[in-house]
Structure formats: structure tokens, C-alpha cells
A = this chain, B = another copy of it.
């Protein structure tokens, strides 16, 4: 073909259309060159990548000009006692925040020495909540009632669009003339946003046809996707997971350099009272850090870090130590689809033994969610421990013991 760069410049070729004219690597190279000329920036660094981009340009990105590289460290070994993840793991963390991996590592050490973290999934369902406009509030309730009365039919219609997804429930909410139908699905090993959107479109069609409701948007924000929300904190979205570990006084002293009472006090004053007065929807030290690093390493949707930050961390001093737990209402993860198939991300999933579809279906995504929760527990333990140790050190200094 003629020089594609020239064609981009003279407008006869659209930037997004390069892949139609050239092989992917070439298209990316030409596009990058074009942007370099347009902006005067040197983008060579973006051009060095090894991931197989045939798949990437079809599924993961448009207008590709290269790749950023994010360093990956490991923390571990982390002993996890879940129902799906049961063993000792090295967790991959992609981050540029110095000290994060080291901190997680110390938390893993505390957990593993304590015999491992118990983890349980307490709810599982990916949601989509279309919003419909009703003529008036009488019509609104009719729509909600109709959907409730036809859930089985709607489920059948929805499930025709997906090989694996199952509709679990439809919960209606009304605000004036607005009707929201929050549809929850078992999406097996997929995070499932696309699956549930497509399936819910079928439901929406039928609701419209039968009731005269006007579909305004397939996502009416009561899903809630990628926004912090009380509904996700209360009712969950994706997998609701809880992880906990009992630390003996001895272990708290030797590994965390503090004591149970101080650890509990830091959590109480910072994670509970501080977050309460801030009007927060997250009650933790830095759950989002661990979530972000794990999601990024493992090809998850980075915007789902939002939901991870709703974590509630609880610490209670017990007779012989402390019980530390994290409650994560909305862990939205998958081991198939999305970014999970990109070479480097797939490697991180394989490091955890959860790459691809599970056996039975859904087992890998559930195992991954359990590991995520245990990882967040490690991060919380470490940071709260450090704060408590620092507080204790100051207290001792004041008392002249230092």
C-alpha cells in the first residue's frame, strides 16, 4: 500500500482504521510514529513490548500505540484456607508505589505463621440494573410487579444469550417514575460484565414490550458499576468475601512489634471512627492498594478497584491475642475474558494456579477472589501493625522506657 503515515496526515486514512490496512504490529508502529510527529514526543519506550497483540487489538484496545510496563513483585508465601483456594501462594503485585510489596510481604508472613487466613465467599452474583421510565407511579409499580411475576420467563430469555451465566434474581426498586430492575447472575469464571449486559438487554426488551416501560439505559447505576455505593456495600456485587486470622500475642509481638490492644485501638480510632466522621464508604487502611496491585498484575479491570476500597477491616482483642478480619462486599474478578488472556497477565494468574476456566466452572474465579481477600488481609495487618508499633514506640519513649 501507499505510505500509510502520509495517508494519515492527508486525512485519507483514519487513525483507528490502520489495522484494516496493516498487520497489527505495523499498524501500532505507524500510529505511534504519527502521534510522535503530531506531538513531538518521543514514544519509543512504548514500542518495546512482547505481548501477542493480534488478540489484544481485537479484544482489549483500540488505537494502540504500544504498552506501558508495570513492575511486578511477589509477596508470600501466603497460606490461604478457603473453600476454593487452599494452600500456600505467592501473590503477584503490579505497582509503582515503593514499600507496598514489602508491606504486603510482612503481612503474609504474619498470616502464614499464624496458620493461614480463613476465607469464605458469602455471596456471589454479578449485577446489572437497567432503568426504565414509567408514565406515572401507578405504572411504575405495575412494571415492578410484572417483572416479579415473570422472573422465570425473563431468566429463560436472559440465559439464551449465554453459555454459562445463570440469572439468580431480579430485585425491583422504584423512585417516582423510575423503575430499576437489579438483575444478579452467576457468571462462573468470568467477571461477567459483558455477559450480564447482553443477558439483561433481553430482559429489558421483554419488560418494555409487555409493560410499555421505556428503557432509558441498560445500566441505571443501581448495579452499581465502578462507583462507590452503599448498595454494593450492603447487598454485595460480584463476590462478597470475608477473610480472617487469629494472631497470638506472641506473634503480634514478634512479627508486628506491637500488642493486641494497641492494634485494636488503631483500627478503632482510624478505620472506624475516622472513616465514620469522614462520611466514608470504606473502613480500612489501604485495601485499594492491594486490590489495585493484584488486579493490575492479573488482568482485571482496573476501574473495579473502586469497589475494593469498600472493605471493612475489623480487629478485636481476644483473651490470647487478636482476631483480624477484612470484609470485601464487592470483589469483581474473573479468570477468563477481559485482560486475563494477555501473556503477562496470564502468567500472573498461572502463578496463582487460577488461570482460565475452573473445574467445576467458577472455581477459579472463586479461588482468585479468596486469594484477593487474603492478600488484602495481609496488607491491612502490615500497615495497621506498623502504625501500632510506631504508636507503641512513642508511648514507650515518653515513658522513658525507650
- Pick the interface stretch among A5-13, A51-59, A150-158, A356-364: A51-59
**Given the known A-B contacts A122-B141, A274-B178, A344-B46, are A302 and B292 also in contact in the complex, defined by CB atoms under 8 Å?**
yes
Contact A72 B62 (CB under 8 A): no
Please give, as numbers and ranges, the residues of chain B lying within 8 Å of A273 by CB-CB distance: 131, 175-176, 178, 272, 312, 314
- Judge whether A344 and B66 touch: CB under 8 Å: yes
Picked from B31, B42, B44, B234, the residue with its CB within 8 Å of the CB of A277 is B234
| Extra pairs beyond A41-B350, A215-B391, A217-B266 (17, CB < 8 Å) | A35-B351, A41-B351, A45-B344, A60-B96, A67-B71, A67-B344, A68-B348, A131-B269, A133-B269, A217-B270, A217-B387, A226-B288, A228-B310, A230-B231, A231-B279, A234-B278, A276-B312
Chain B residues within an 8 Å CB radius of A296: 68, 70, 296, 302
What are 23 residue pairs bridging A and B, where the CB atoms are less than 8 Å apart in the complex?
Answer: A38-B90, A45-B347, A49-B71, A53-B71, A60-B97, A61-B96, A63-B75, A65-B72, A67-B70, A97-B338, A122-B141, A122-B144, A122-B174, A141-B242, A173-B277, A174-B327, A216-B270, A217-B387, A217-B391, A221-B275, A228-B282, A272-B276, A277-B312
**Residue contact A309 to B234, C-beta cutoff 8 Å:** no
Instruction: List B contacts of A66 (CB < 8 A).
Output: 71-72, 344
Rounded to whole angstroms, the CA-CA distance of A297 and B43 in the bound complex is 12
Closest residue on chain B to residue A289 by CB atoms: B303
How many angstroms between the C-alpha atoms of A118 and B174 in the bound complex? 14
Closest chain B CB from A225 CB (angstroms): 8
* Chain B residues with CB under 8 A of A278: 221-222, 224, 227, 229-232, 234
Min CB distance A202 to B, Å, is: 14
Determine whether the beta carbon of A301 is less than 8 Å from that of B96. Answer: yes
Q: Which B residues touch A288, using CB under 8 A?
A: 226-227, 303, 305-306
Q: Which of B231, B244, B302 contacts A176 (CB 8 A)?
A: B244
Which residues of B are found within 8 Å of A180, using beta-carbon distances?
274, 277
The verdict on A343 contacting chain B, using a C-beta distance below 8 Å, is: yes
Other-chain residue from B98, B229, B314 in contact with A178 (beta carbon distance below 8 A): B314
Interface residues on A, range: 35 or more
State which of B62, B129, B312, B326 has its C-beta within 8 Å of the C-beta of A99: B62
Give the distance to chain B from A111, nearest Cβ to Cβ, in Å.
13
> Does the CB pair B59–A98 fall under 8 Å?
yes
Q: Which positions 7-32 of chain A face chain B at CB distance < 8 Å?
A: 15-16, 31
Q: Given A118-B137, A270-B216, A277-B180, decide whether A46 and B348 contact each other with a Cβ distance below 8 A.
A: yes
If A138-B120, A345-B68 touch, whether A394 touches B244 (CB-CB below 8 Å) is no
